[in-house]
Amino acid sequence: MVTFIAVPFVAFVTKVYSKFYDKISENLQQTIADANNMAEEVISTMRTVRSFACEKREQKRFENLLSSTLSVNRKRALAYMGYTWNNEFCDNAILIAVLAYGGHLVLTGKMGKEQLITFLLYQMQLGENLYNLSYVMSGLMEAVGASRKVFNLMNRKPQFELDGVKKPHVNGNITFSHVGFTYPTRPNNPVLKDLTLNIKAGETVALVGPSGGGKSSIVSLIEHFYEPNEGTITLDGMHIKDINHIYYHQKVALVAQEPVLYNGSVRHNILYGCDFATEDDMLNAAKMANVHGFVMELEKGYDTNCGEKGVQMSGGQKQRIAIARALVRNPAVLILDEATSALDTESESLVQQALSRCAQERTVIIIAHRLSTIEKASKIAVIVKGQLVQMGAHDELMLDTDGMYYSLVSRQMLNAKVGDE
Ligand SMILES: Nc1ncnc2c1ncn2[C@@H]1O[C@H](COP(=O)(O)OP(=O)(O)OP(=O)(O)O)[C@@H](O)[C@H]1O
Ligand SMILES: [Mg+2]
């Protein structure tokens, strides 16, 4: 009886403690993750940090994050100390109580000396085992706290599945019908509203409009990064979500507004995700995108490393490698989101020539600000605040002198003239 008198108390303390320890372990993981994230972000954007002379400030920010890790760790250590202290205290208190009561029983002759010693030995062993159990408990709670996040991530349901299976022959007819779209992170800011747009196979369509109007968002929807909230997007009359993911992205290629290169050779970057292409395909694409010339001047040619995120390439070279990467898969639909904005006029016109050569047998969607690029498109769609306000060929749209396109073009011509003077 005396031995077990403290058990309910110890059990209660253990329960409270384990709850607390579990929570604090989770907190600790979070603060470590925050500090690591920050370090990674700052190191990968070191050039920006240095150019704004924010080294000290970032150092301070990191220090603050580390000190919050420290304070959580301190709390955890204190809790552990309290718990162990409590356990030891109960252990010793029981020992004293057993000795006192047992001594009393021996002295009054109700119990033999041998029996008391045997009992004490058993009790010590039991105490030791319970003590070890508390160790296991702490470890277990720590693991539970840390693993909760892992399980949360593992159990996360994707908002939509990439489970399309169809592999149809693609001509390149893209239709948006009454598409409404809002980014999940900003549910109150609709980006596209009732957008209906038809891009016929083989056409080159330019999307123009003010910045923030939703052009890149249209591209993200065609690339199936998101699903529209309303309406449908079809390729040759088939819902794009029904088409096999890998097949779809072989047929629809994108050169993004901010192209990303990987740490690896130029060859690796051009052939990215395109196992079926041969060395000749790669060379052809590189020549078309005007990559071949500058790569041949580099000591290692196509084996030259591009650096992490392509830092060892110039902005224009990155864009051209990204164009070659899109062309190498010989897509039916080619999307260029300001893909030539970082090129000088001469390289741009070379790349433009190459693009218009390969535009003949495919659908091209091009987003650009330069008039010279836009006016060659067979159709121009003017997107303002997520809506299609005008669509037609350059000459046609220029006739409407009150239209958005006319004012965009006249402003640009004015700029060009000022630039010439
Ligand atoms: N990932 C995102 N999450 C939330 N909102 C976004 C996201 N990307 C863009 N937006 C918002 O959606 C709107 C449309 O952006 P979008 O990038 O489509 O414009 P854009 O027409 O391509 O502009 P630009 O000519 O400057 O490239 C903007 O108001 C922008 O702030
Ligand atoms: Mg954009």
**Based on the domain organization, do 229 and 342 belong to the same domain?**
yes
**Based on the domain organization, do 345 and 283 belong to the same domain?**
yes
Residue 164 inside a domain? The answer is: no
Residue 2 inside a domain? The answer is: no
State in Å: Cα 211 to ligand 2 middle.
Answer: 7
| Single-letter residue type at 325 | R
- If one counts the domains in the chain, the total is 2
**Based on the domain organization, do 238 and 114 belong to the same domain?**
no
**Based on the domain organization, do 138 and 77 belong to the same domain?**
yes
Q: How far apart are CA 169 and CA 276, in angstroms?
A: 18
Q: How far apart are CA 94 and CA 127, in angstroms?
A: 10
191 lines ligand 1 (CB under 6 A): yes
State in Å: Cα 223 to ligand 1 middle.
Answer: 15
| Single-letter residue type at 222 | I
**Based on the domain organization, do 240 and 366 belong to the same domain?**
yes
Residue 160 inside a domain? The answer is: no
**Based on the domain organization, do 206 and 112 belong to the same domain?**
no
* Ligand 1 atom 16 nearest Cα: 214
Per-residue pLDDT tens digits of the chain, which is 421 residues long = 666 666 777 778 878 888 888 888 888 889 999 999 999 999 988 989 999 999 999 999 999 999 999 999 999 999 889 888 888 888 888 888 888 988 898 889 888 888 888 888 888 888 788 778 877 877 887 788 778 888 888 998 888 888 888 888 888 899 999 999 999 999 999 999 999 999 998 889 999 988 888 999 999 999 999 999 999 999 998 999 999 999 999 899 988 888 889 999 999 999 998 888 888 989 988 988 888 988 999 888 899 998 888 888 888 888 889 989 998 988 899 998 887 777 777 777 777 777 777 777 889 999 987 777 788 888 999 999 999 998 998 888 888 888 888 888 888 766 655 544 4
Q: How far apart are CA 199 and CA 231, in angstroms?
A: 16
Of the listed ligands, the closest to the CA of 213 is 1
- Beta pairing partners, 48: none
Which of the listed residues 182, 183, 220, 408 should we mutate to test ligand 1's pocket, taking the one with most ligand atoms within 8 A of CB? 183
Ligand 1 atom nearest residue 257's Cα: 27
Residue 166 inside a domain? The answer is: no
Which residues constitute the domain of residue 65?
Answer: 7-154
The CATH code of the domain that includes 243 is 3.40.50.300
| Single-letter residue type at 22 | D
386 lines ligand 1 (CB under 6 A): no
